[in-house]
Structure 1
């Protein structure tokens, strides 16, 4: 990746300039915001999918919605059926102070969309997801030219894992291959790039082998296009054991992905800011890249809801910034524009984490 020119050198220069100057703000949770709209099956389907799955092969089931299966809960589909809602979420986070907006494409791979019989939409979902975020960022940048806004094209982990068996009785079994994952990520990344993303983020990584398939796909894709884009990498520590689902510590995770020379490495989701603190500290001590985090608003309660207030979350993350651990920060599950606004204010007067002087090539 490093031998290729940037696809959008002017945008990269602006982003690097901003990163050197201050801690940048990511947006917050998408699902949290969408749930507030209380959309039913018809709301998710919209006019386009009212009577089926877009004219493609349908799987008939007497217990499912006409067209094969229910689409309620497929948040990524709202990019096509309710784009005004997605744009509204992007705008709300930008108004709250976000510098970088993530596309609504967390599940926009063929593998994940196959759960809804909509795998044929993978490229379109990424293309339109990036276009929506691009339009929102450009509109806000026009209002605040001193603070350019950037689009992060999101590649989620997919609903399968290359390292672990889904069958406890057959530990050697895998329901996906490295090659299949790479093909999925290539298709999705093409859509994100064509739609106008500034950065690609491989996020919520619970299986590093999945992430390696994504990084391999991006490397190959950049070479095919003859130009590269900045890549952000964000893993997830799944519980208080301090490891990813595939068993890696924060340190092991970092050394598994540093070969990609990412713009940033970080952790998101699963834990709240309090519990993520030691793992972000580890990355801050190790990483030659920038360090990011976008934690949940605490751990979910018995009802699956998140109770951490904007004030508490901002206070904890303000401590991260005060101790020089951060370059980029936002929120994940349970966070809202109120959380992002509070976090933005909490880190505003703290300088960004300084990159180490160690030459990465010689390390």
Structure 2
């Protein structure tokens, strides 16, 4: 089997072979800190919309592009190599909660273009910056019943997820994404619908981008919400041949450590990403989480020193200050070495 030939993002694969790469922090945290009003989120275009939109951060890519642009640039200034598009909840399925599902393509296209502009502004020949098209899990799960009295009930199916993700992928790539990031995976069946849609797009377009797949261990059970262990999760998604696989969200670095260790062991021939929350929720904190930049950076320095990670950053509660501290903490350290498979293709074990 030949190595994957990427039409975009090939420089990212090169960077990962040489150093630890920095991904950005929490878009949602940064938006929440601004305390925007309902009217500010709606803008003139949606002033008469029939549902509350204050919590629809993805809509800001249309109504307040300046806000999203400033957040991207703050993370880039802090040293991020990769910034995520503001599209975590931008599928038609997620936007249907706001009666805006018909805007999914427009939201993803606008968000990708904003991230592309910011990344290009900060890129240099020696330090290119990359745009990750972010695909979130949607607020629905294909594996778990939403009704405790009816275990067989489902509020979404595989085909609905596949169609929504395909629409999202098309717009993200058109808008300028260098790679795709299927993240915060709590249901592997949802993720497999996203991976199916991505592969379908790659086949139809003739274009292949690097892929990062990131799961979420929800608690001390060491399992994602739909029941898989970290190892089982990896064996379920490795067919997609991701450039990197990792964990994000739900846990801070201290609690995430044993699961990153396990993933690093079982996915020995694939790069490992890790972007935890800033510790535990803390409503008294400015960010809503309890870890300062220094604490998060110290913990992730330990991950790097142990040789566990190739991509590192932050999820909920992490700010540009966290990312800057993480960058300083891990930059002197070597990136994790791969155990190359005979196929020489990331994600396919020998």
TM tier, smaller: over 0.9
Query: For residues 100-150 of structure 1, what are the alpha-carbon distances to aligned partners after superposition, in whole Å with 9 as ceiling and x for unaligned?
Result: 000000000011000100001101111111100000000001xx3311000
Does the 8 Å CA contact 1:4/1:227 hold for their aligned counterparts? no
1:93/1:2 CA distance change after superposition, 3 Å: farther
**Alpha-carbon distance between aligned partners in 2 of 1:181 and 1:299, rounded to the nearest angstrom:** 31
**Alpha-carbon distance between aligned partners in 2 of 1:347 and 1:286, rounded to the nearest angstrom:** 23
Deviation, structure 1 residue 359: 2.2
Q: Does 1:102 align with 2:99?
A: no
Deviation, structure 1 residue 270: 0.2
Aligned to 1:89: 71
- Segments of 5+ residues of structure 2 without an aligned counterpart are none
Greater shift, 150-159 or 283-292, is seen at 283-292
2:168 maps to which of 180, 188, 203: 188
Aligned to 1:265: 245
**Alpha-carbon distance between aligned partners in 2 of 1:353 and 1:73, rounded to the nearest angstrom:** 38
Q: Does 1:137 align with 2:134?
A: no
Deviation, structure 1 residue 362: 6.0
Classify the secondary structure of the residue corresponding to 1:21.
coil
1:73 maps to which of 55, 67, 73: 55
Aligned to 2:296: 313
1:177 maps to which of 114, 139, 157: 157
**Alpha-carbon distance between aligned partners in 2 of 1:41 and 1:132, rounded to the nearest angstrom:** 22
Aligned length: 343
**Alpha-carbon distance between aligned partners in 1 of 2:283 and 2:85, rounded to the nearest angstrom:** 29
Classify the secondary structure of the residue corresponding to 1:202.
strand
Query: For residues 277-297 of structure 1, what are the alpha-carbon distances to aligned partners after superposition, in whole Å with 9 as ceiling and x for unaligned?
Result: 011111111212100011000
Does the 8 Å CA contact 1:234/1:266 hold for their aligned counterparts? yes
Aligned to 2:219: 239
**Alpha-carbon distance between aligned partners in 1 of 2:86 and 2:279, rounded to the nearest angstrom:** 22
- Segments of 5+ residues of structure 1 without an aligned counterpart are 52-66
RMSD value over aligned CA atoms? Answer: 1.5
1:343 maps to which of 326, 330, 335: 326
Does the 8 Å CA contact 1:5/1:227 hold for their aligned counterparts? no
Deviation, structure 1 residue 31: 1.1
**Alpha-carbon distance between aligned partners in 2 of 1:130 and 1:2, rounded to the nearest angstrom:** 30
Classify the secondary structure of the residue corresponding to 2:17.
helix
Aligned to 2:278: 297
2:23 maps to which of 26, 32, 43: 26
Does the 8 Å CA contact 1:2/1:261 hold for their aligned counterparts? no
